[in-house]
Structure 1
Amino acid sequence: MDRHPAEAMARPDLIRLDDGFVCLRFESMKVVSALAAVRHLLDTGVVRPGDTLLDSSSGIYAHALALACHRYGMRCHIIGSSTVDHALRTQLAVLGAHLEQMEPSDDLKLDQNRRVARVRALLAEHPEYHWMRQYHDDVHYLGYRTVADRIRRELGTERLTLVGGIGSGASTGGLARALRERAPDLRLVGVQPFGSVTFGSAHVRDPEIIIAGIGSSIPFANVDHGLYDTIHWLAFEAALAGSVDLLRSRAVFAGLSTGAAYLAARWERDRAPDRTVVFVAADTGHRYVDSVFARHEEAVRVADLAPREVAGPQELVLPWSRMRWNRRPVGPGGSGFDGRVGEGASRAGAAP
């Protein structure tokens, strides 16, 4: 029996949508990583009950960290993006988390840079705070091992393809690392928005939006580029079509990044029907009712969408591009990965 609701939320559903086509559905995926990270930091003495845990978030991680702090008796301080909505602000307040929200901005990079600057200022004022560094400390990989074990038990690992948003790198990265311990031929397909620096699409602007949660305008050290076999870049209009079709045809109500992962997974499955394709649904669709699902009549048919195959990021075009990455270890921006796990590098003075 669970001792806290967050523990139940950390267990995803495995839903077989068709033969060889499976949805790994989370209520809120980052609860998995936040719970395991906080537990590890407590067990190793990096933090103590009652300490303040600090981080920046566009929404989902803020909720996850607030739940983990509630579970383990910690204080929570969030520097939130302007995208944090009223429903989440209310939940954070009731859970006892302190939220500082950035002023509205049309520039995602400016929003992220301002949040990092505020985190640094707070650490200078309060060196006793612990910066969780969800984008840079791979303590956030740890929680996904349990999920990988469940995939292994229920689906096996023979001829398996995993598809999901890249984001901070911890979710698909953590799942792939754990699964490849017994299945080195696991194929990992990462999903990115246009405008993200992580795999070199910063020069391509999506006129609608950069999809929060799967890309970034600043480098993330937790992304291990060498894990990924294939990358798909999808624009808002393609992700919207995927989200709407997934609800209409499969009754799965999930967020915008899931719509993008669903499109990529359909494409990969059609080209390798002998493989089992699992795609990650990171959160529910409630945050996207107005911005995505209310626009369902605008959605193009997913059957009419196909990616452009590209040899490099310089060839990327909207609304959908695909590239064989072939596990190259370093991204176009030169960002790397140092492999450290929870070494307490997230206090004042650590690199962002």
Structure 2
Amino acid sequence: MTVGAFADAVEAQRIPALVRLDTNLYALAYRLMKLLPAKHILRQAGAEGLLGAGTTVVETTSGTFGLALAMQCALRAHPLVLVSDPVIDDGLRRRLEDLGARVDIVTEPAAHGGFQTARLDRVAAIRDRLPDTFCPRQYENPANPQSYALAAELLRDHLGQVDCLVGPVGSGGSMCGTARYLREAFPDLVAIGVDTHRSVLFGQRDGHRTLRGLGNSLLPANLDHTQFDEVHWLGAADAYASTRRLHRSRALFTGPTSGAAYQVGSWWARHHPDALTVVVLPDEGHRYQDTVYRDEWLAASGLAVTAPAPAPVTVTDPRAAEKGWSRFAWQRRSLAEATAGGALAGAAS
């Protein structure tokens, strides 16, 4: 099989599908959403002379951005070093290594910023030792949100109108980029970000997060808070239950960040029947077959599948969203404006 055939296979996974879930609810369903920024960032780096034939790509990741980079680097024959931490699952690590990546595990968190900071420090140390490297910097590289112009164009061309966009937030790239480009056509678009408890992204204090794939311990430069009209926080129990419900009711096999977004998006669509809502589903569920899709694992973790919460609790301060499903009217404000004049912004940074 030729390299071109492999490239075509990856390209087929990069473009999301548009799936109708209800009368006024659609899913933007990706097989692997991070292929969009991975390809765009590497292509731009090559055009700018930052990525040569023998350049080693070095990045911090514990999830699907690493997988997307590994797929792209395998096709482009670039050496790849991915810095992660103990939360990375064995199946993903095996796949990364099979694609030729070297996975470097940081075992101890930093005093401030936890594993995120420790991983960034390790990336810097690795780059100091190697003669020719490129770091995609998914959290701060503007090419990350720019890559989602493709998704916005797809929605605009196929739906003609989008009134509400709902999706999980991690690096800030997908939601901020897609919302920004959609508002060029639909300025009144409502953008709803989905986060999880003890994530600093929208004003909470950093802490242990059971639900992975969204949230963060650091504030990414690509997170433009002024893009968001609402923010919702969900825990693992609700996200897992909604992930399983999405699979049973719509045969969509997704990860738990998709389940979290679906729970919020379906609720908003029900309460706004005259508006067209799109929910972003970032990836498929293969990594979670032994966890989220396994009743024994859920029961042992105290997260047995039950009906997800029917509606969120509205809070007037992000710090009040400590458990369960909560929502906050962000109103396209900066972090400082939305969190009492900056008091929380300093605590979260």
Query: What is the TM-score normalised by the length of structure 1?
Result: 0.87
> Is the deviation greater in 76-85 or in 215-224?
76-85
Q: Offset at 1:13? A: 1.0
> Is the deviation greater in 6-15 or in 127-136?
127-136
Distance in 2 between residues matched to 1:49 and 1:216, nearest whole Å: 33
Contact (CA 8 Å) 1:23, 1:280: kept in 2 or not?
Answer: yes
Which 5+ residue runs of structure 1 have no aligned equivalent? 336-351
Please state if 1:28 is matched with 2:32. yes
Q: Offset at 1:195? A: 0.7
Corresponding letter in the other structure for 1:268: W
Corresponding letter in the other structure for 2:196: P
Selected match of 1:316 from 310, 313, 321? 321
Partner of 2:175: 172
Query: Per the alignment, do residues 59 and 104 of structure 1 end up closer, same or farther by CA in structure 2, a change over 3 Å counting?
Result: farther
Distance in 1 between residues matched to 2:192 and 2:53, nearest whole Å: 38
Q: Offset at 1:301? A: 1.5
Distance in 2 between residues matched to 1:81 and 1:284, nearest whole Å: 22
- The answer to which structure has the higher helix fraction is 2
Distance in 2 between residues matched to 1:69 and 1:19, nearest whole Å: 41
Contact (CA 8 Å) 1:42, 1:49: kept in 2 or not?
Answer: no
Q: Offset at 1:225? A: 0.4
> Is the deviation greater in 40-49 or in 258-267?
40-49
Q: Offset at 1:18? A: 1.1
Corresponding letter in the other structure for 1:200: G
Contact (CA 8 Å) 1:269, 1:276: kept in 2 or not?
Answer: yes
Corresponding letter in the other structure for 1:65: L
Q: How large is the Cα RMSD of the aligned pairs?
A: 2.3
Q: Offset at 1:84? A: 2.3
Aligned identity (percent) is 33
Q: Offset at 1:285? A: 1.2
Distance in 2 between residues matched to 1:73 and 1:125, nearest whole Å: 20
Please state if 1:44 is matched with 2:23. no
Selected match of 1:300 from 289, 306, 318? 306
Query: What is the TM-score normalised by the length of structure 2?
Result: 0.88
Please state if 1:202 is matched with 2:205. yes
Selected match of 1:328 from 324, 333, 336? 333
Contact (CA 8 Å) 1:190, 1:228: kept in 2 or not?
Answer: yes
Distance in 2 between residues matched to 1:278 and 1:292, nearest whole Å: 24
Selected match of 1:74 from 52, 74, 78? 78
Partner of 1:132: 136
Corresponding letter in the other structure for 2:129: E
Q: How many positions carry a matched residue from both structures?
A: 330
Which 5+ residue runs of structure 2 have no aligned equivalent? none
Aligned residue for 1:149, secondary structure, equals helix
Contact (CA 8 Å) 2:203, 2:335: kept in 1 or not?
Answer: no
Distance in 1 between residues matched to 2:112 and 2:152, nearest whole Å: 32
Contact (CA 8 Å) 2:29, 2:283: kept in 1 or not?
Answer: yes
Contact (CA 8 Å) 1:255, 1:288: kept in 2 or not?
Answer: yes
Distance in 2 between residues matched to 1:317 and 1:114, nearest whole Å: 26
Distance in 2 between residues matched to 1:315 and 1:23, nearest whole Å: 30
Aligned residue for 2:118, secondary structure, equals helix
Query: Per the alignment, do residues 246 and 189 of structure 1 end up closer, same or farther by CA in structure 2, a change over 3 Å counting?
Result: same
Question: Counterparts in 2 of 1:238-277, with a 5 A limit?
Answer: 238-277=238-277
Distance in 1 between residues matched to 2:291 and 2:112, nearest whole Å: 17
Residues 244-274 of structure 1, C-alpha deviations (whole Å, 9 max, x = no match): 1111111111001111101110121122111
Selected match of 2:148 from 144, 162, 185? 144
Contact (CA 8 Å) 2:108, 2:118: kept in 1 or not?
Answer: no
Distance in 1 between residues matched to 2:112 and 2:269, nearest whole Å: 33
Q: Offset at 1:109? A: 4.9
Partner of 1:11: 15
Distance in 1 between residues matched to 2:291 and 2:136, nearest whole Å: 30
> Is the deviation greater in 75-84 or in 57-66?
75-84
> Is the deviation greater in 251-260 or in 76-85?
76-85
Distance in 2 between residues matched to 1:127 and 1:51, nearest whole Å: 9
Partner of 2:57: 53
Runs of 4 or more, structure 1, over 6 Å off, are none
Question: Counterparts in 2 of 1:219-238, with a 5 A limit?
Answer: 219-238=219-238
Residues 15-48 of structure 1, C-alpha deviations (whole Å, 9 max, x = no match): 1011111111111110111011111111122222
Query: Per the alignment, do residues 312 and 127 of structure 1 end up closer, same or farther by CA in structure 2, a change over 3 Å counting?
Result: farther
Distance in 2 between residues matched to 1:53 and 1:165, nearest whole Å: 26
